Amino acid sequence: MPVNNHHDHNHDHGQNHNHDHELDVAHRLEPSSEGANTLHANPEHVHTDEQTPLSRTAKRALRVGIGGPVGSGKTALVAALCRTFSDELQLAVVTNDIYTTEDADFLLRNGVLPAERVTAVETGGCPHTAIRDDISTNLEAIEELEDALPPLDVIFVESGGDNLTATFSRGLIHQQIFVIDVAGGDKVPRKGGPGVSTSDLLVINKTDLASYVNADLSVMDRDAKAKRGELPVIFTSLTEDPAATDVAAWVREKLSEHNR
Ligand SMILES: Nc1nc2c(ncn2[C@@H]2O[C@H](COP(=O)(O)OP(=O)(O)OP(=O)(O)O)[C@@H](O)[C@H]2O)c(=O)[nH]1
Ligand SMILES: [Mg+2]
């Protein structure tokens, strides 16, 4: 596929950024070991995204960002949702990893989606830069998937694992899910941060491990609600419910709102 070169352009995401793409364009790499499309963000290029929200148009897929700390279960959740929706919806996934294509390869190895539906972005720098400050590589990945595949219903964009401050630009995604897990301790919701407080859905995963780490789920529930007000919180154990039933129901609801 051709690499964009040296042209001013206007991405269809509500923000004008006319800038020289000769230097800052994503570098296209060889497909990953499992065959996923692979893009390498240029970590040198940082510009501040104006965060103009994406319009809700049924002509485009619902874009769902999935962020959260390292190892909380983001890829496991993406895999669960892809399996649950496989016969129902047209899906694609963009993964972000710092130095590898690990997450994309996991999805392909596990037969969650065919290789042409998965693009790995190697961020090469802080994961939050690629989803919040300079979203150009992720936008390119999304636009290419939308161009190459039959009309898509949902695109999941998994952030690289980061700390509690990472959030997605509203110019990149329509809805964001923040995934934490009980193994980090029951204080995590209390510590707050924009992911915990403002994400469209907070998922508290690995409830099966609560008793091993003395995490009190009722404390997590109370603290999460105190930070989030009316915003929803879902407890999951992806080992006990590999279909992620409640999260899938939330995605279905958001999709029907998006297509309304
Ligand atoms: N016990 C238990 N393990 C889980 C659950 N969900 C995920 N895991 C395991 O937790 C580990 C990390 O899960 P991932 O899905 O790779 O986490 P991630 O957030 O994508 O990690 P990064 O992308 O590296 O930040 C894996 O070994 C999963 O099998 C769960 O509900 N219960
Ligand atoms: Mg992951």
Q: Which atom of ligand 1 is nearest to the CA of 179?
A: 19
Confidence of residue 26 (pLDDT cuts 50, 70, 90): low
In a domain, 126, yes or no: yes
What is the token pair recorded at 78? 């993406």
CA-proximal residue: ligand 1, atom 7 (nearest): 73
**Average of pLDDT values for 238-248?**
98
Pocket of ligand 1, candidates 112, 159, 206: which has the most ligand atoms within 8 Å of its Cβ, to mutate? 206
Q: Which atom of ligand 1 is nearest to the CA of 162?
A: 25
Return the pLDDT at 13.
40
**Average of pLDDT values for 46-64?**
66
In a domain, 160, yes or no: yes
Q: Quick one: what percent of the chain has pLDDT higher than 90?
A: 67
In a domain, 250, yes or no: yes
pTM of model > 0.85: yes
Confidence of residue 29 (pLDDT cuts 50, 70, 90): confident
Phi, psi of 68 (to 5 degrees): 140, 170
Q: Which atom of ligand 1 is nearest to the CA of 207?
A: 31
137-174 per-position pLDDT tens digit: 999 999 999 999 999 999 999 998 887 878 999 999 99
In a domain, 247, yes or no: yes
Return the pLDDT at 119.
96
**Average of pLDDT values for 234-251?**
98
| pLDDT(223) > 70 | yes
In a domain, 1, yes or no: no
Residue 98: how many CA atoms within 13 Å on its side-chain side? 7
**Average of pLDDT values for 176-200?**
95
In a domain, 20, yes or no: no
Q: Is the CB of 208 under 6 A from ligand 1?
A: yes
78-87 per-position pLDDT tens digit: 999 999 999 9
How many domains does the chain divide into?
1
Burial label, 203 (beta-carbon count in 10 A; 0-12, 13-18, 19+): buried
- Structural domain that includes position 95: 62-258
**Nearest Cα residue to 61 out of 167, 158, 150, 121:** 150
Return the pLDDT at 59.
62
In a domain, 42, yes or no: no
184: domain CATH number is: 3.40.50.300
Q: How far is the CA of 206 from the centre of ligand 1 (A)?
A: 8
Q: How far is the CA of 77 from the centre of ligand 1 (A)?
A: 8
Amino acid (one-letter) located at 9? H
Q: How far is the CA of 13 from the centre of ligand 1 (A)?
A: 31
In a domain, 77, yes or no: yes
Return the pLDDT at 44.
54
Q: Which atom of ligand 1 is nearest to the CA of 236?
A: 31
Return the pLDDT at 238.
98
